[in-house]
Amino acid sequence: NYGEGVYGEKLYGGMGGSYYGAGAYGEGVFGQAAQFSGTDSDFWSFDYVRDTTQSQPWWVATNNVDSVLVFKGGSSTAWEPLLQTVGGISFRSKYLVEYKSHLVFLDTTEGGNRYPQRVRWSNTADPDNIDTGNASYVDLSGTDWISGAVKFRGDLLAVLKEDSIWIGWPTGDTDIFDFTRKVSGVGCEAPRTIKVIDGDVIFLGREDIYVFDGSLLQPLGVSPDTPQSSKVRR
């Protein structure tokens, strides 16, 4: 279907079965579903990161089920495991983001134990090394779980949890990063709604859609239960 016929050698440019595969959805770059064991509810988190030995960035992905994977490009058409262990034990992560030349993992599973408040980062410009160098981690306090992270306003990292918002920044010393809670009682349980627009973080909370600029949190006032006079707009 998607291999050597209309979607392979003809309509989509003559790549043939070697690229689009020979099965219903192929066995090449567009058909590696068998490589992944997650389900439709195990959403992927992606970002680019550059290894210190590479001239081109890598495309890294995680779904909290499979190993953290990397697509290196070039002549390769396959995803490869980027890292599978930390400290010699199995490693998985629900979210990842490149930040200040580090690959940052959030809500990790290490050795079969889940750490939903954990933020772990790689060695500088060394994304497959989370064991040595300045690789480290921090557990954000509280019982609410991390629901995502985005870079915003140049040097800041917003880490959203279910009932709080944290800010991370580079310390310039051996701690590498520091994190502080900026908002309590409001967070995000819908990670795919987290976006950065005009430098601000926008997300869906339990009561409203919110805008966070790094210090102030403002509701957009779209909740049907919010009186018109109390709505806050930017």
Q: List, for residues 14-62, the tens digit of each pLDDT value.
A: 554 555 555 544 455 554 444 678 888 889 999 999 998 888 899 999 9
Rounded Cα distance between 160 and 183, Å, is 10
Q: List, for residues 53-103, the tens digit of each pLDDT value.
A: 888 899 999 999 999 999 988 776 788 999 899 989 999 999 999 999 999
Tell me what the pLDDT averaged over the chain comes to.
84
CB 93 within 8 A of CB 64: yes
**pTM given for the model:** 0.79
**pLDDT band per the 50, 70, 90 thresholds, residue 230:** very low
Measure CA 225 to chain center.
Answer: 33
**Residue 145 structure tokens:** 């779980």
